[in-house]
Amino acid sequence: NNSYPFYTGTHQAGIQTEPQRYCVYMTFDLVSATATDLQVLLARWSAAIAQLMQGKPIGAVAPTQPNAVAPDTGEAYNLGPSSLTVTLGLGPGVFDHRFGLADKKPKLLEPLPALPSDQLQKGYTGGDLSLQACADDPQVAYHAIRNLARMGRGTVGTRWTVMGFGRASAGKGQSTPRNLLGFKDGTRNIKEQSDFTDHVWVGDGDVAWMRGGSYQVARKIQMNIEIWDADRVSDQQQVIGRTKNVGAPLSGNAEFDTPNFTAKDAAGDIKIPVTSHIALAAHENNNGVKILRRSYNYTDGISQFGQLDAGLLFIAYMDTPQSFIQLQEKLGSSDLLNEYIGHIGSGIFAIPPAPAQGHYLGEALF
Ligand code: HEM
């Protein structure tokens, strides 16, 4: 029952943190148009997140005055911190005309452009604020989001949410899990400190208050599960560019073998197809672009056609949103995987650095 500190004064938790088992992700619209309301919300959310990450309720679960409404809803009482992290993001709307914060806008924080293969639905897209709550107990993650949403009433309204039930990425030292395609996911994720410095954390090149922060891109990606399940494993492997069992690149034998994107088989064919997912996404083929993937599997039950409705809550962190845009421009137009997936939701958020003790998230904006 691990706990992470909130007041680190450096990076927010929930990014470099080893992915926990569950995630509840929610975005919100600001319904108040006063900067003070936003400021008060960020201060109150910060204090509450610090409590929750220690496994403490945000006030009495059962107030001594029996007629009082409980400040904490109670369902996580005594469950402990369960590795909870809550990561806050600020969407482009925070910096529009409403709040007078336009001069503080992170350089490249704009709604994502239309990307090839987009099938975005309004009900899963956008948001002025995002909260990513991850924990090893789903009830602890849900409790955090529920209580923060409750605290925000009057200032924010809920916009879209996804409940992720299994991690689909790996941090340093963690075993590689599998996503709902049945393939290992996270093998070549960012794991080394130098890559976090070079590709995830914002440095000097952006507005000053973003230093130590990051950009978060969230995509709700539906999988055509029945169609995928009817495909031969040999074809599935060509789509991903890796073997299903071991997770080895098709040019190698072991999971962590470095893919060789030019290796040919005896017949003279490239072993890792150029339109496979990993060939298109690898940094070797993208001018060195790398992103941190921190995704979760999700299910929405059964579709109106009686098919399993499930997919990947893709969450990625990077020091510039250009990294995602560049990758998805390419994946969206050529990836063999496109036959089996559809991007139905999307959001982009600036992730402020973590406050030091006595401060709150986003304080530098006011
Ligand atoms: C690698 C699955 C969407 C970027 C992988 C791997 C799998 C996978 C199985 C190989 C294992 C690994 O190295 O982690 C999926 C699925 C997706 C999806 C099922 C959608 C449902 C995306 C998107 C992006 C992306 C939208 C970025 C725009 C990457 C990158 C790699 C990767 C950068 C590492 C490639 C390498 O360096 O070898 N993905 N992915 N993926 N994926 Fe995805």
Q: Is the ipTM of this complex over 0.85?
A: yes
Beta strand residue intervals within the chain, DSSP E: 22-30, 85-90, 129-135, 156-167, 214-223, 292-293, 296-302, 308-318, 341-351
> How would you label 208-233 residue by residue, b for 16+ Cβ within 10 Å and e otherwise?
ebbbbbbbbbbbbbbbbbeebeeeee
Q: What is the pLDDT of residue 119?
A: 98
pLDDT tens digits for range 326-361:
999 999 999 999 999 999 999 999 999 999 999 999
Using the atom order of ligand 1, give the atom closest to the CA of residue 221.
21
Q: Residue 246 has what DSSP assignment?
A: S
* Alpha-carbon span 57 to 193, nearest angstrom: 33
- 281 pocket-lining for ligand 1 (C-beta < 6 Å): yes
CA of 360 to the centre of ligand 1 (A): 34
What's the rounded mean pLDDT across residues 50-68? 94
C-beta of residue 148 within 8 angstroms of C-beta of residue 49 = yes
Tabulate helix, strand, coil % of the chain (nearest 5): 25, 25, 50
Please tell me the residue having the least CA distance from ligand 1 atom 29.
281
Nearest CA to ligand 1 atom 31: 281
pTM of the model: 0.98
User: What are the tokens at 113?
Assistant: 């452009």
Query: Of 45, 86, 37, 49, whose CA–CA distance to 366 is shortest?
Result: 37
Report the percentage of the chain scoring pLDDT > 90.
98
The Å distance, Cα 278 to ligand 1 centre, comes to 6
DSSP states along 73-103: --TTTTS--TT-EEEEEE-GGGGSTTTT-GG
State yes or no: pLDDT of 1 exceeds 90. no
